[in-house]
Structure 1
Amino acid sequence: MNDDGKSLRQSAAKGSAVTLLAQGLRIVLQLVSVVVLARLILPDQFGLYAMVLAVASVASIFLDFGFSMAALRSKFLTNQQQSNLFWINVGAGAILSILVFFLANPISNYFNESRLVGITQGISVIYLIGGITAQFRVKLNREMRFKALASIDVISPLIGLITAILLALTGFEVMSLVFQQIATELTMLLISFFLARWIPVFPRKTEGMKELLTFGAGFAATRVLSYLTQNVDSIAIGRVWGAAPLGLYDRAYRVSVGPITQISFPMTRIAIPVLNKVVDSPPRFISALKEAQLIGTFITSTLLLILAGVSEPVVVLLFGPPWVDAAPILSMLCIGATFRTVQQVSNWVFMVKGLAGDLLKFNLVAQPLIVFCTVAGVWWGPVGVAVGSSIGYGFYWLLSIWWAGRVTNMNLFPLFTYPLKVIIIFSLPAGIVAFVVASVVDANSPINLLSGVAAATCWLLIIYMLSKSIRTDIKKLINFTMIALGRHQK
């Protein structure tokens, strides 16, 4: 490998290490938040908050309108161009904050729940804050200042969590969750502004804006489709079954899909600039994509499927016996989250190639399939919704690989067969073993949990010893990690 290749790989690995460490801490904070607040706030209160977010959060897409991704993937971005994007984001944030505020009553009427008015009006301010923050984070990202971004991603939710706990203890109930979000966004803005050391200039006409706006619009349209797909479950459950079942679903979602969401966008922040440097060399590009799958395939999918196997003792241990009905929901959502994890690399192909239009066309075809599967399950309650959603994301993963390969004229099928092989012989059996052992052990939740995890670990070690290909891939992952830690010099 030449010097440029080594430098590129080291940048990717070190960026991944910092980001994964930060997101690991953030996931811990999120789990602490889920566990502690579940003991302080009733399920129906979480359901009310989830109803509002399911509808109002679409504003966050129009807030950014894909401009952050457009700026991030641009090889050359002038100060004036980024300043123009900043002012567009600020203007959009102000408009959306006002719009969401006045949508409080329609949202309340749709769900037939008067308590949603105050929640919606309270949450509306975050869009203005987010609009101001966006380009400061892009600035840090383009400069590959991953440690700065990592500090923001850890400190901000920590401040939000402390705020929520203090307010919940004093009886604020669901409004504790609203102020948690506001405190998180405000902290993110202040730290981003301080670390970016950038002052935007006043807007004016400049070259190159059309390309940025066009890509941003296409990417935003794709995100709108993704948003509708990802939130149709909450909307359907809230509308048909009410706040309490939605509260159970929401907590299960936070434990399973939530951490994946926390990891996916930061990993995209690293992947796009790195892949952008090798996009003109198909062999290097394909090789980089395969390496990018290592973490998602071996670590994330394995943890998710083991979690699916021990969902009941996990739910009882974390939330308490009253939440036990969330266990089967958690299991099904973990399976869907596995598909989401391994599918992400397909999106990177579209983004790096600048194929926002093709990505939109693909999602116009594929996203409705997920929606159909999800809505079809609503009549069987939250568990049916989770099953339908997971089936939909399984089809979505396969279709995304085929579509990306077709529009780029590259053979991307190994990006499907490789993780599928690992899941079938490594991750999925570990989850099944964990489920069987945790189910037959007649003990309390901690013992059930430890027994299931121990059995799954034994399976993983056996497969590692028996499969040469698995050993080879894990060694690549370890090598990648050592580069990230600065201990590998080859």
Structure 2
Amino acid sequence: MSVRRAALWSLAAQYATFSIQFVASVVISRLFLLPADVGLFSIALAAAMIVSIFQDLGITRFISGQPQMSPAALPHYAAVAVSIGWSVAAIVALAAPFVAHFYAQPALAPLLWLIAASYLVTPYATVPAALLVREMDFRTLFQVNAGSALAGNGTAIALAACGFGASSLAWGVLATAVARAAIANIHRAVRPRMPENTASVRPMLGFSSMSFVLSASAAIGHRSQDLIVGRVLGIAATGLFSRASALAGQLTTLVTGAIGSVFYSAFARKRDAGEPLAEPYLHLVACYTALNWAAMVGLALAAEPLVLLLYGPNWIGSAPLLRWTALGEIFFVAIPLQMDVPLLLGQIRRLVWVNLLDTCAAVAILTAGCFIGLEAAGISRVVYGFVWWVIYALYLGRLIGFRFGALMSVYARSGICALVAGGPLMIALWQGMEPGMLALLLLSASGVLAWLAALAATRHPAWKEVRMMAEALSRPILSRLAG
């Protein structure tokens, strides 16, 4: 499958998954659950996912990034994944009462037990999904991701409607894991089999030893957010913070999340061919920032009316948090594949130290913000975003060898396009307009048209990709009409 065709299928998966998750979050938040319910689940999930760093141990990256792969070793990799997953499930289950006691919330324990049950199933999808990425079979991966999202979110909505409260979200996590493992194995079954000795899995374990430290650092920095907010500001504040972070993160994933997985495989091929990565990396940055910056500017501008329209007045406290989180995302998407590219280039040891610095900054900045207040916690995302960008821009600049002048040129054009895209909404809000859903949609559509015009006018590198994607999508339709 070509890179652009793979990107189309990957984008389709991202759009489908986002749509399902987005609709579910709106329905559940508006009709069934309060911020305190979502906050309770967010703390349980964050606590469990910090432990789950043991689960993958870089197996997915190892399989998808290797120049050559022995089919005989795949069952052994799957067995290692299952063994680790079951160990993680046991740790989460045993830790549940202690976490509930630490937060003085007895209801946390059953939520953690349900999430632990999902870790018994999740590893059965690890190797099959990694093989699909390696083979760039994103059409099948679409079925895996979209199907599991539909099963999990459908379960969560149904149980929330029946009055299950926060536990409906935990049951949704379990249903997602079961569906993902089932669909992945239907298409690319790999039966786990323990190796007679460690020879077949030694390369993977060697990679995983450093990958674990890397994953641990990243998990602490990312997953500790809800834990810190919950401990300092309370359960309801955690729900508001989590909902804002989730919406901004989902939009980022929707806009460009699919591109990363495709380019990871493409960069691996360029590495194997000995080709330089600086030029294609800057092109990737251009695509990321062109799409994401425009989306984040729009999200920041429309934060308050969007929260009221989607989630209702109970969630209005998340609007300022959403605004700051969206602005912070502008930095986080400005240096894409910040962990994947160093791994492909064999720089895992140095990456570990860089990531540890990043983690320390994340925890310290958010903690300081939380002690000031909830909105300060949101502002801290912008501060941390800038620090994050400095760390990884300097690191990848030296590693890949791209020129900072070229990087700033890309940023300048993406920034102009983002401001132009937000122009219609800026004008409407400046005139005191309180847009409803229809008005927001029309203003967004106007922003997209303005953004496309700005891409063409500035000769942005992403304009070529937009035209080629449009041609690829329209070609089958035109051929049918011609036939």
d(CA) in 2 for partners of 1:458 and 1:191? 38
Match in the other structure for 2:393: 401
Match in the other structure for 1:30: 21
8 Å contact from structure 1 (residues 142, 273) kept in 2? yes
8 Å contact from structure 1 (residues 233, 385) kept in 2? no
Question: How far 1:222 moved relative to its partner?
Answer: 1.5
Match in the other structure for 1:260: 252
How many residues align structurally?
A: 475
Q: For residues 450 and 485 of structure 1, do their structure 2 counterparts lie closer, same or farther at Cα, with a shift above 3 Å needed?
A: closer
Match in the other structure for 1:78: 70
d(CA) in 2 for partners of 1:476 and 1:458? 16
1:153-174 Cα deviation digits (max 9, x unpaired): 1111111121111111111111
- Secondary structure of 2:136 counterpart: coil
8 Å contact from structure 2 (residues 54, 212) kept in 1? yes
1:331-354 Cα deviation digits (max 9, x unpaired): 111122222223223333212212
2:463 aligned partner, one-letter code: I
1:469 to 455, 459, 462: 459
Match in the other structure for 2:335: 343
2:74 aligned partner, one-letter code: Q
Match in the other structure for 1:445: 436
RMSD over aligned Cα atoms: 2.5
Q: For residues 140 and 455 of structure 1, do their structure 2 counterparts lie closer, same or farther at Cα, with a shift above 3 Å needed?
A: closer
Question: How far 1:82 moved relative to its partner?
Answer: 2.2
1:86-126 Cα deviation digits (max 9, x unpaired): 11111111111111111111111221212111111121111
- Secondary structure of 1:343 counterpart: coil
Q: Where in structure 2 are the equivalents of 1:118-157 lying within 5 Å? A: 118-157=110-149
Question: How far 1:435 moved relative to its partner?
Answer: 4.0
Residue 363, structure 1, aligned to residue 355, structure 2: yes
Q: For residues 315 and 419 of structure 1, do their structure 2 counterparts lie closer, same or farther at Cα, with a shift above 3 Å needed?
A: farther
Question: How far 1:149 moved relative to its partner?
Answer: 0.5
Match in the other structure for 1:479: 468
Question: How far 1:481 moved relative to its partner?
Answer: 5.5
2:282 to 269, 273, 290: 290
d(CA) in 2 for partners of 1:101 and 1:50? 17
Normalised TM-score (structure 2)? 0.91
Residue 330, structure 1, aligned to residue 322, structure 2: yes
d(CA) in 2 for partners of 1:320 and 1:414? 45
Question: How far 1:265 moved relative to its partner?
Answer: 6.3
d(CA) in 1 for partners of 2:20 and 2:406? 32
Question: How far 1:242 moved relative to its partner?
Answer: 1.0
Question: How far 1:287 moved relative to its partner?
Answer: 2.9
2:364 to 372, 389, 398: 372
Question: How far 1:396 moved relative to its partner?
Answer: 1.3
d(CA) in 2 for partners of 1:85 and 1:18? 27
Unaligned runs of 5+ in 1: 1-9
Question: How far 1:327 moved relative to its partner?
Answer: 0.9
- Secondary structure of 1:203 counterpart: coil
Q: For residues 101 and 197 of structure 1, do their structure 2 counterparts lie closer, same or farther at Cα, with a shift above 3 Å needed?
A: closer
Instruction: Report which stretch shifted further, 325-334 or 197-206.
Output: 197-206
d(CA) in 1 for partners of 2:76 and 2:194? 7
d(CA) in 1 for partners of 2:315 and 2:294? 25
Q: For residues 55 and 16 of structure 1, do their structure 2 counterparts lie closer, same or farther at Cα, with a shift above 3 Å needed?
A: same
1:224 aligned partner, one-letter code: A
Question: How far 1:433 moved relative to its partner?
Answer: 5.6
Match in the other structure for 2:2: 11
- Secondary structure of 1:144 counterpart: coil
Instruction: Report which stretch shifted further, 109-118 or 253-262.
Output: 253-262
1:185 to 177, 185, 189: 177
Q: Where in structure 2 are the equivalents of 1:179-328 lying within 5 Å? A: 179-205=171-197, 207=199, 209-261=201-253, 266-279=258-271, 284-328=276-320
d(CA) in 2 for partners of 1:440 and 1:321? 23
d(CA) in 2 for partners of 1:165 and 1:191? 21
Match in the other structure for 1:56: 48
8 Å contact from structure 1 (residues 315, 327) kept in 2? yes
8 Å contact from structure 2 (residues 75, 190) kept in 1? no
d(CA) in 2 for partners of 1:444 and 1:404? 42
1:176 to 161, 168, 173: 168
1:266-292 Cα deviation digits (max 9, x unpaired): 544322221111125666522322333
8 Å contact from structure 1 (residues 278, 285) kept in 2? yes
- Secondary structure of 2:245 counterpart: helix
1:475 aligned partner, one-letter code: K
1:212-253 Cα deviation digits (max 9, x unpaired): 222222223222211111123211210111111111111112
Question: How far 1:459 moved relative to its partner?
Answer: 4.9
Q: Where in structure 2 are the equivalents of 1:372-391 lying within 5 Å? A: 372-391=364-383
8 Å contact from structure 1 (residues 371, 389) kept in 2? no
8 Å contact from structure 1 (residues 22, 154) kept in 2? yes
1:442-462 Cα deviation digits (max 9, x unpaired): 445336634653664465366
Question: How far 1:475 moved relative to its partner?
Answer: 2.6
Identity of aligned residues (%): 22
1:257-313 Cα deviation digits (max 9, x unpaired): 134356776544322221111125666522322333343222222112211111111
- Secondary structure of 1:441 counterpart: coil
2:262 aligned partner, one-letter code: I
1:479 aligned partner, one-letter code: M
Instruction: Report which stretch shifted further, 380-389 or 433-442.
Output: 433-442
Q: For residues 170 and 480 of structure 1, do their structure 2 counterparts lie closer, same or farther at Cα, with a shift above 3 Å needed?
A: closer
1:363 aligned partner, one-letter code: N
Q: For residues 74 and 484 of structure 1, do their structure 2 counterparts lie closer, same or farther at Cα, with a shift above 3 Å needed?
A: farther
1:460 aligned partner, one-letter code: W
Match in the other structure for 2:92: 100
- Secondary structure of 2:373 counterpart: helix
8 Å contact from structure 2 (residues 44, 108) kept in 1? yes
Q: For residues 346 and 237 of structure 1, do their structure 2 counterparts lie closer, same or farther at Cα, with a shift above 3 Å needed?
A: closer
- Secondary structure of 1:469 counterpart: coil
- Secondary structure of 1:178 counterpart: helix
Question: How far 1:414 moved relative to its partner?
Answer: 5.6
Unaligned runs of 5+ in 2: 477-483
Instruction: Report which stretch shifted further, 437-446 or 97-106.
Output: 437-446
